[in-house]
Amino acid sequence: MAALRPPRGSLRGFLCAGLLLAVGCTAPPASAPEPRTTTQQAADAKAEAVRPAPAPPREIPGLGPATRAAIPATARQAVVVTGAGPKSYRSTVVRYVRDPATGWSPVGTPWPAHNALKGWTGHHIQGDKRSPIGVFGLTDAGGLLPDPGTRLPYDRGRAFTARGTGALGEPLAGSFDYVVAINYNRRPGRTPLDWTRPLGPKRGGGIWLHVDHNGPTEGCVSVTRAHMRELLRWLDPSMRPVVVMGDGGALRR
């Protein structure tokens, strides 16, 4: 009787099986990483120490801690009106926008402006011919001319017709073609023509940003007609715009 032979290829399978049993079915463990030397650890610590810290958010230049603190945290647009002096009626307007991560950045170039005839005051009184110092919301607009494309509520009407002459004898016609109400002693959310005075009538009111008439105002801030149109189109109520206004010394407090 012939000797039995294993099927072809089975011998190779027996050898492979035996090899697997000898060495195990799992892969050899990975070698552990070499421990870092004291020198390498010191180098890493030094590199971490010299790494620059993230830059703090940019602030609006020319403003002191008290003025900055008065700007609401929700405000992301600011119109900064800086007077040339406490008794000057000349000022400069710069717009700023705030990014939550990087802070405030200027928008465009500075605009020349006028404020009240006798300058600025921290306690405005009706008829004192001074502009109030402070940080105020910008929520409502209007004018004699059609809405140029603002996102603020816009009240158009003939009641915005300006008549008479200014302090220097200049005609006031056209001054209220475009206005933005400054929320000093007024109730936000109403037409600029609303005369409600929460602080009382003696504290004045009707303080607006409006079209310049080439002279000082009674208490408002005025810029050119082109700049008023640009301002109206730029202001966005969802960004909670404010005006920051006063002479340079007062704003640095």
DSSP code string of 55-99 = PPPBPPTT--HHHHHHS-TT--EEEEEEESSTT-SEEEEEEEEEE
In a domain? residue 86: yes
In a domain? residue 159: yes
In a domain? residue 47: no
Q: What confidence category does residue 3 fall into, taking pLDDT thresholds of 50, 70 and 90?
A: very low
Residue type, 10: S
In a domain? residue 6: no
Query: How many Å separate Cα 199 from the centre of its chain?
Result: 28
Percentage with pLDDT > 70 across the chain:
79
Q: Which residue has the higher pLDDT, 228 or 14?
A: 228
In a domain? residue 15: no
In a domain? residue 20: no
Domain count, the chain: 1
Residue 22 pLDDT more than 80?
A: no
In a domain? residue 108: yes
CA distances from 193 to 144, 196, 206, 252 (A): 12, 9, 8, 32
In a domain? residue 3: no
Residue numbers of the domain that contains 170: 65-251
Q: What is this structure's pTM?
A: 0.80
CATH assignment at residue 179? 2.40.440.10
3-state secondary structure of 174: coil
Alpha helices in the chain, H assignment, sequence order: 10-23, 38-50, 65-70, 225-234, 248-251
